[in-house]
Amino acid sequence: MLQEETAEEIVDPKLAAEYNTWKRNSPYLYETLITHDLDHPSLTVDWLPTKECRNTADYSIQRIVIGTHTLGSEPDQLIIANVKLPLDDTTISNRPRIDNTREIGGNSLSKVENKVDPLIRINHDGEVNKARVMPKRDDIIATKSPSGNVYVYDYTKHPNRSTQGPQLILKGHQKEGFGLAWNSIQSGLLASGSDDHLICIWDISAGTEGNNTIQPLRTFSSHSEIVADVSWSEFSPNILGSVSDDKKIMLWDIRHENPTHIIEGHNREINAIDFNKFEENLLATASKDNTVAIWDIRNMTIKLYALEYHTDEVFNVRWAPFSGTMIGSSGNDRKVCLWDLSKIGDEQTEEAKREGPPELVFIHGGHCANVSDFSWNMNDHLMLASVDEDSALHIWMMANSFMSPLNFKMDTAATAMDLDKA
């Protein structure tokens, strides 16, 4: 049974007022909005590239992967869930397609029930700190566990509510962590960063029949504090970035023992890193200093630009998979912010300036707790999924009125020179 959240249930008066405002305005903010109460909080969310369309339906079926954080009240699980999303040509009314799970208002997508429907539940050793789907192999999912082990699952080999263990156990870490990234160029290469200050890299194709345990291909130990996140270059299979509580960004050529670059990137701990999908020299970092920084790896002595709007530490940053100028960020201010770097430096009215910088194009403000993770949909541009510490899963796309002024181009990137001029 889904539980509705109302402003009356929110203890903080300021938060209750913010939620009421968002709830009242949401029919005008979103093309699609589905809010779903999970049984337990999920610390992670990732879209699978799967998309199924049926001839007689006004929706597609796509999939997400989430996890549970039960605090020991029951066994934790890795969950693959079906999500029913409106097709682009669906015409229901001239109002936004909004699911009423939390009585947000607007018209329903359709009469279809169970818009978020768990397909497979797999028992997991402790909470799922992070889950990431392998590129080009959407049946393979890697997870981070409290034990320090990284697990690899082929979910097609697990029946629902499976108690079977993972297909692979990746050893090397002594403590838990959250950094996890697949290499999109070299299939099967996986990097992980953890609280033991280590970066481990595995090649999952190295497993042998009858032995499901794999030791690291490489281990790096240059960070002096927790390694919060790792990210691979989209242009070279050997280039890896890492960030840490030691405030440093490190770039690695994994064929060598030591980092090629060590930069103190922020004045507080750094929580996340992501390489741009279209411009090989751009990367972004997110920090406890409440900012997202944009960098050119050809000159890491100075950041290209700082994205400033968050009012608390930023935990996640992810470039859009369809555009080199769009990027999302989320954190402890309960917001998911969408930015368009091509709008940096655009002129604004005084009223617009009070709302935020020109590059801030949308704020998803419906979460009532810290946003743990978010993910861009790979099939429907500008569709995202986000999860928070209060067990909420939101699936959403901002309204066309926000998208129409955007001058970003698909499959292009803002160059470092463009940002420098801004």
pLDDT class of 181 with cuts at 50, 70, 90: very high
R_g (Cα) of the chain, nearest Å: 21
Residue 134 lies in a domain: yes
Residue 5 lies inside a defined structural domain of this protein = no
Q: What is the CATH classification number for the domain harbouring 316?
A: 2.130.10.10
Distances (CA, A) of 321 to 63, 211, 411: 17, 35, 8
Query: What are 60's strand-pairing partners?
Result: 53, 85
Instruction: pLDDT band for 209, please (50, 70, 90 cuts).
Output: low
pLDDT of 4: 39
* Residue 3 lies inside a defined structural domain of this protein: no
Over residues 265-284, mean pLDDT: 98
Tokens of residue 49, six digits: 């590239």
What confidence tens digit (pLDDT) does each residue in 195-208 have?
Answer: 999 999 999 988 66
Give me the mean pLDDT over the 32-55 stretch.
Answer: 94
Answer whether residue 365 is part of any domain. yes
pLDDT: which is higher, 73 or 95? 73
pLDDT of residue 250: 98
Q: Is 4 inside a domain boundary?
A: no
Residue with tokens 């368009």: 340
pTM of the complete model = 0.90
Q: Which residues of 374-391 are buried (b: 16+ CB within 10 A; e: fewer)?
A: bbbbbebebbbbbbbbbb
| Domain encompassing residue 19 | 12-421
pLDDT (tens digit, 9 = 90+) per residue, 232-268? 999 999 999 999 999 999 999 999 999 999 999 999 9
Does 1 fall in a domain? no
pLDDT band at 16 (very low <50, low <70, confident <90, very high): confident
| 287 φ/ψ angles, rounded to the nearest 5 degrees | -140, 165
Residue 274 lies in a domain: yes
Residue 24 lies in a domain: yes
Amino acid identity, position 80: I
Domain count within the chain: 1
Q: Could you give the maximum distance between any two Cα atoms of the chain, in Å?
A: 67
The arithmetic mean of pLDDT across residues 33-56, rounded, is 93
The confidence score (pLDDT) of residue 400 equals: 86
